[in-house]
Amino acid sequence: MTATLLIEQVLNGLQFGTMLFLMAAGLTLVFGVMGLINLAHGSLYMVGAFAAATAAAATGNFLLALAAALAAAAAAGALVEIVVLRRLYSRDHLDQVLATFALILVFSEGTRWLFGSFPLYLDVPKALSGTVHLGTLSYPLYRLAIIIVGIAVALGLYLLINRTRLGVQIRAGEADREMIAALGIDIARLYTIVFALGAALAGLAGALIGPIQSVQVGMGEPVLIMAFVVVVIGGIGSIKGALVGAILVGITDTLGRFLLPIALASVMDQASATTIGSALASMLIYILMAVILVWRPTGLMGAA
């Protein structure tokens, strides 16, 4: 094992972490403001990826593909919020779970119906297709770009929430729902905007991951569950927590898969080290979550 390899894995972890952050930010925002648990958040990620793949195939332009992903996911989010979810804010979590579970079925099957079961592919844009050299390490430019986009989005969200009128309303909504009514804010509109914003972030994540993985039905679900872990670790409702949790989970997962088999190989033979190491690595973030839960049941940044 060399330092170069390790740095590469850390960067991969960061890249995975930024993807998770884009997902978790929307989840935690929607929960913080509306008190809604949205299982269908992964479907919006999928919608973004399919929109991007379709737009890229039609225009050949990656920026247009990103724009299409943002627009499609935000529109799908707004539509779902207006037609279904706003009726569920006052219901218990059980109803929300069932309704958003049903939405997953609708989205997944609808996408399969429209696009078929075969995965679509999205190419890395030409401008970002090379590698960058950092000392002895050559790293794909595109992955680096994802990290930068993630940091930019985190900054943008910070400014949005702390420096804009919408941000004031969102914070008011998190603190006290009656307060936003007292401030004379159109709550229904605010909720739709927040939901569409979260959906757009998920769609962006889906579009960005498209060139790295294949675009297919069901792609959002593993990411959704990882994003839940992030939200639990970071503390529900906290965007800062989502950022910290996402980086933590991204790096833990990536490094675990890389280091555990190597570490175990020093105490057992190579074959079983690989087997046991990868099995353990796949459980690592859940173990991390359990440890943090024992230590701080409301998450790292959650309200006590």
Partner 1 sequence: MSRETILNLVVLAALFLVALAASLSGQPYLVTLATKATILGLAGIGLNLALGYGGLVSFGHAAFFGIGGYAAGILASAAQNYEPLMTWPVELPGTTSMPIIWLTAVIAAGLVALPIGALSLRTGGVHFIMITLAFAQMVYYFAISWPAYGGEDGLSIYVRNTLGTLDTMSPWTFFLISYALLLLVLGLVLMATRSRFGLALAMARQNPLRLTSMGVRPFNVRLTAFVLSAMAVGLAGALYADLNRFVSPTMLSWHLSGELIVFVILGGVGRPCGPLIGAALYVLLESELGRLTEYWQLPLGIILLLVVLFARGGVIGLVTGRRSHA
Instruction: List contacts with partner 1 (CB under 8 A).
Output: 31, 37, 39, 84, 87-88, 93-95, 97-99, 101-106, 108-110, 112-113, 221, 225, 228-229, 231-232, 236, 275, 278-279, 281-283, 286-287, 289-290, 293-294, 297-298
Rg of the Cα trace of the chain?
A: 20
Give counts: helices (H), strands (E), the chain.
11, 2
CB nearer to partner 1: pick between 94 and 267: 94
* Residue 131 CB contacts under 8 Å (≥ 6 apart), including other chains: 138, 139, 140, 141
Would you call 265 helix, strand, or coil by DSSP? Answer: helix
Choose between 93 and 163: whose C-beta lies nearer to partner 1.
93
Q: Cα(129)–Cα(143) distance, rounded to whole angstroms?
A: 10
Residue 41 neighbours by CB under 8 Å, 6+ apart: 23, 26, 27, 30, 198, 199, 202, 220, 224, 227
Considering beta carbons, is residue 80 or 208 the nearer one to partner 1? 80
Question: What is the closest distance, in whole angstroms, from the C-beta atom of residue 105 to partner 1 in the complex?
Answer: 3
Shortest spacing between CB 64 and partner 1, in angstroms: 29
Residue type, 136: T
Nearer CB in complex with partner 1: 20/56: 20
Phi, psi for 140 (deg, rounded to 5): -60, 130
Q: How far is the CB of 283 from partner 1 (least distance, A)?
A: 5
Check if the beta carbon of residue 207 is closer than 8 Å to that of residue 65: yes
**Shortest Å, Cβ 276 to partner 1:** 8
The Cα 204–Cα 41 span in angstroms is 12
Q: Decide whether 93 or 189 has the Cβ nearer to partner 1.
A: 93
Closest distance of CB 108 from partner 1, Å: 7
Given a contact cutoff of 8 angstroms between Cβ atoms, the answer to whether 53 and 122 are in contact is yes
Nearest-approach distance from CB 35 to partner 1, in angstroms: 8
Nearer to partner 1, 38 or 169 (CB): 38
